[in-house]
Amino acid sequence: MLTLFHHPMFATCRFIRLCFAEYGEELALIEEKPWLRRKEFLSLNPAASLPVLLAEGDVPIVGAGVIAEYIDETRGVLKRDKRLFAEDPMERAEIRRLCDWYLDKMESEVTRHLVRERVLKPLMPSSQGGGSPDSAAIRAARSNVRQHVKYTNWLAGTRDWLGGGRITYADMAAAAALSVLDYLGEVNWSDFPAAKDWYSRVKSRPSFRPLLADRVRGLSPVSTYGDLDF
C-alpha cells in the first residue's frame, strides 16, 4: 500500500486522495503538520510542503501535479474509459488548465488564506505563526469566493463535467478545493444551481466518502457538509 503524507484541509491533498479513490486504490494516510518541520518529513521533502506520496520502493513523489502525472502514468493509462485524463492533447491541456485554476489560482486567492486563518492558526503555537485569525485576510479571501464559484457554475452549466464530456482530473481538483470551502460553510450553493448540481454528483461518488468523514480538531463542519441532498 502506498503512503500519503497529507493534511485533511489542504485541497491539494484532497485532490490526490480523490484520484486514487476513483481508481479504487487505498492509501495509508499520515497526517502531517508541515509547520512542525519534522526531521523525518524534511528528509522526504526539504520544502516541507504537502502532499508527499511514498510510492513503490518508498520513493517520495512531491506535489499534487507531479503525483497526478505519476498516477496517470501508472494507473490511469490502464483504465481506458475510466481514465481521469484525456487521450487528446488539447483536452489534456484544458484539464491541466482547470487543475491549475483550482489548485493554484483559487488556492492563492481563497482556500489557502481561509484554511490558514480559520483552521491552522488556532492550532499552531505563536512561535510558528499561530494566534488569532486575521480578519482582514479572511475578508479578502471571502471577497474572492463568489467569483470562483460563479466560474464553476458557468463550467457546470455548459459542459457535462467541468473538463468536458466525462469526469476527469478537473472535477477532482475543483471538488477538492470547493469541499474545503464547503466544510467551512463558505459557499452559498443556492446562488449557483449548476455548480450545486455538479458538486452533488461528485459528492455522491464513493471516492468522496472518506472526505466527508474528515474532521479537524476544534472546528466541526457545517451541518450540511455530509448531506448529499444539501
Other C-beta atoms closer than 10 Å to the C-beta of 84 total: 23
Q: What is the residue type of 194?
A: A
Digit-by-digit pLDDT tens for the chain (230 residues) are: 999 999 999 999 999 999 999 999 999 999 999 999 999 999 999 999 999 999 988 899 999 999 999 999 999 999 888 999 999 999 999 999 999 999 999 999 999 999 999 999 998 888 888 889 999 999 999 999 999 999 999 999 999 999 999 999 999 999 999 999 999 999 999 999 999 999 999 999 999 999 999 999 889 999 999 998 88
Those residues with Cβ within 8 angstroms of residue 123's Cβ, 6 or more apart along the chain or in another chain: 33, 130, 217, 218
Q: What is the pLDDT of residue 56?
A: 86
Q: Are 162 and 195 in contact (CB under 8 A)?
A: no
Q: What is the pLDDT of residue 174?
A: 98
Q: Structural domain boundaries of the chain?
A: 2-81, 89-209
Q: Is the dihedral of CA 212, 114, 161, 53 positive or negative?
A: negative
Q: What is the pLDDT of residue 130?
A: 85
Q: What is the pLDDT of residue 57?
A: 85
**Which residue has cell 497526517?**
31
Other C-beta atoms closer than 10 Å to the C-beta of 220 total: 10
Q: Strand 27-31's sheet: what is its strand order?
A: 27-31, 2-6, 52-54, 60-62
Q: What is the pLDDT of residue 73?
A: 96
State the pTM of this model. Answer: 0.96
123: phi then psi, degrees, rounded to nearest 5 = -100, -15
Question: Into which CATH architecture does domain 89-209 fall?
Answer: Up-down Bundle (1.20)
CATH superfamily for domain 2-81: Glutaredoxin (3.40.30.10)
**Which residue has cell 485532490?**
15
Q: Are 95 and 169 in contact (CB under 8 A)?
A: yes
Q: Return the HEC string of 1-51.
A: CEEEEECCCCHHHHHHHHHHHHCCCCEEEEECCHHHCCHHHHHHCCCCCCC
